[in-house]
Amino acid sequence: MLKCEDLKKIFDENDLTFFSGVPDSTFKGWMNYLAEGNGMKNIIACNECEAVANCSGYHLATGKVGVVYMQNSGLGKTVNPITSLVDKEIYSIPMVLMIGWRGNPNDEKEDEPQHKMMGKIMFPLLNILDIPYKIIPEDKVEAAIVIEKMKKIAEETKHPVAIIIQKGIIDNYNWGENKEEKYEMLREDAIKTIIDNLDGDEVIVSTTGHASRELFEYRVAKEEKHRDFYTVGSMGCSASIGNIIALEKPDKKIFVFDGDGAVLMQKGALASIGNYGANNFYHIIFDNHSYDSTGGQPSVSESINFEKIAEGCGYNFIKKAKTKLELLDSIKELKEKQGPCMLIVNINKGSRKNLGRPTTTPIENKEAFMEFLNK
C-alpha cells in the first residue's frame, strides 16, 4: 500500500505539485493529505471541467504539468474540455489525470449501481480519447516508475495522460481537520426535523451521497413507504430533476434536498430554476462546507453567499437556518411561500459510522416514486 508521504515524494521528484479537482473516496487518504497542504498547491474545483481548465491555465502560465484528480464518473464530464481545449489537435496541453476507478468489474466487493457503467467503459473511453493510461501499483518503487513514465509521455506528446487508482492502493491519512462543531445539527438531524414538520404529501428529490442514505434510513425507521427519489449518482442534478417535476406537476409541492458541493457542481441550474419560476419548488441546501461523502475535504461554499446567488437567480424567497429552532421556524414559513424558494441549513460535517445504503434498487426506487407522484 502506498503511503501518502511516499506518493508526495514521487510527485515532487517529477515536478508534479499543482493539483485541482473534485475529491474521490477511492483515494481518500491522498485527498486528506492534499487538504492539509503539505507543500502541494491544491485548487478545489466545483466540477471536473473546471479542474481541466485550471490545469490548462497552470500550464499556460508556467509551462509545467498539472494533475487533475477525479472519480471516473468525472471523466465523462471532462470529455468536452479534453476534446475541445487540451487535445493535441487544439491547444495541445499536457496534464496528468488522476482517476479513481469506481465500479471496477474485477472487484470482489460489488460497487454501487451508479458506478457500474463507467467502471466498465472507463478504459474504452480513454482509448477513444487517445489518452495513454497506467494503473498505479501499490509498491512505491514500481509506482515511481509508472508516474515518471506517464509524466514524460504527457510532456513529449503535449497531451493528457491518466494514472488509474484502485481502491486500497493508497493508504489512509489521518489529517488534522478542524473538527470544531460550528453549528447545532448534523445533516441527519436536519433531515429528520424537516420530514417531521412537513405535511406528508410533499414530493422529495434528494441528492447523491449521505443525504439520500439518511433520508432512506429515516423512512425505514418510521416504517413509511418509500416514495422519495434518491439521486444515487449524477452529482448536482437533483435540483434540475426537481425543477422539471415541479413545472410538470404544479399541484404538488416539490422539495429538493441538496448539498453545497452538489449545488456548486451545477450552479447554472439555479439560473434556470429562477427563470422558469415554479411556484411549487422548494430548494433546501445542507451546507457543511465540505465533500462529506469522500471524507470531509473542504468545498468552497464557506467563501460564497448562497442567499445572494439565489436572489440574483430569481428565487422568490430565501432563508438561512443555523439552529434547530431557526429550522423549525423556517420550514413553517417556507410552506406558506410561493416558490422558487431556497432554504440554506448550516450543519456540521459528519455522519453515523453505521449509515447504510438504500436497499431498494434504482429501478424499484423510480417505480415507487412515479407511483406516488402520479396519485
Measured in degrees and rounded to the nearest 5, phi and psi for residue 316 equal: -80, -30
Instruction: Supply the pLDDT for residue 177.
Output: 58
- Check pLDDT > 60 for residue 178: no
- The answer to whether position 174 is within a domain reads no
Verify that 209 and 356 share a domain, yes or no: yes
| pLDDT tens digits, 339-372 | 999 999 999 988 888 888 888 899 999 999 999 9
- Check pLDDT > 90 for residue 226: no
Verify that 149 and 271 share a domain, yes or no: no
Instruction: Supply the pLDDT for residue 338.
Output: 95
Q: Which residue has the cell 489518452?
A: 131
Yes or no: say if 145 and 134 are a contact pair by the CB < 8 Å rule: no
Number of domains in the chain: 2
Measured in degrees and rounded to the nearest 5, phi and psi for residue 172 equal: -70, 160
Q: What is the 3-state secondary structure of 89-154?
A: CCCCCCEEEEEECCCCCCCCCCCCHHHHHHHHHHHHHHHHCCCCEEECCCCHHHHHHHHHHHHHHH
Q: 52-66, 68-82, 286-300, 313-327 — which is least confidently predicted?
A: 286-300
Q: How far apart are CA 21 and CA 49, in angstroms?
A: 9
Verify that 277 and 324 share a domain, yes or no: yes
Verify that 320 and 221 share a domain, yes or no: yes
Q: Which residue has the cell 491522498?
A: 30
- The answer to whether position 134 is within a domain reads yes
Q: What is the rounded average pLDDT of the residues 251-272?
A: 96
- The answer to whether position 179 is within a domain reads no
Q: In 171-209, which residue ranges form alpha helices assigned H by DSSP?
A: 187-196
Verify that 137 and 200 share a domain, yes or no: no
Verify that 154 and 237 share a domain, yes or no: no
Verify that 137 and 194 share a domain, yes or no: no
| Domain end (from 110, 133, 165) | 165
Yes or no: say if 62 and 33 are a contact pair by the CB < 8 Å rule: no
Cβ atoms within 10 Å, residue 372: 17
Yes or no: say if 37 and 25 are a contact pair by the CB < 8 Å rule: no
Verify that 248 and 106 share a domain, yes or no: no
- Check pLDDT > 90 for residue 180: no
CA 321 from chain center: how many Å?
A: 23
Verify that 56 and 123 share a domain, yes or no: yes
- Check pLDDT > 70 for residue 108: no
- The answer to whether position 173 is within a domain reads no
Q: What is the rounded average pLDDT of the residues 95-120?
A: 86
CA 75 from chain center: how many Å?
A: 13
Q: What is the rounded average pLDDT of the residues 88-97?
A: 97
Grid coordinates in use for 345? Answer: 441549513
Please report the sign of the dihedral spanned by the C-alpha atoms of residue 58, residue 59, residue 60, residue 62: positive
| pLDDT tens digits, 127-148 | 999 999 999 999 999 999 999 9
Domain that holds residue 137: 4-165
pTM of the complete model: 0.91
- Check pLDDT > 70 for residue 165: yes
Average pLDDT, whole number, for the chain?
A: 93
CATH number of the domain within which 368 lies: 3.40.50.970
Q: How far apart are CA 200 and CA 191, in angstroms?
A: 14
Alpha-carbon distances, residue 76 vs 3, 69, 135, 195 (angstroms): 29, 13, 18, 34
Yes or no: say if 92 and 337 are a contact pair by the CB < 8 Å rule: no
Grid coordinates in use for 289? Answer: 462546507
Verify that 75 and 208 share a domain, yes or no: no
Binned at pLDDT 50, 70 and 90, residue 125 comes out as very high
Instruction: Supply the pLDDT for residue 294.
Output: 80
Q: Which residue has the cell 474545483?
A: 45
With a pLDDT cut of 70, the percent of the chain lying above it is: 98
| Domain end (from 165, 199, 222) | 165
- Check pLDDT > 80 for residue 218: yes
- The answer to whether position 58 is within a domain reads yes
Binned at pLDDT 50, 70 and 90, residue 80 comes out as very high
| pLDDT tens digits, 282-321 | 999 999 998 888 878 889 999 999 999 999 999 999 999 9
- The answer to whether position 74 is within a domain reads yes
Verify that 79 and 221 share a domain, yes or no: no
Instruction: Supply the pLDDT for residue 245.
Output: 98
- The answer to whether position 180 is within a domain reads no
Q: How far apart are CA 273 and CA 37, in angstroms?
A: 37
Instruction: Supply the pLDDT for residue 88.
Output: 94
- Check pLDDT > 80 for residue 234: yes
Q: What is the rounded average pLDDT of the residues 81-90?
A: 96
Verify that 209 and 138 share a domain, yes or no: no
- The answer to whether position 170 is within a domain reads no
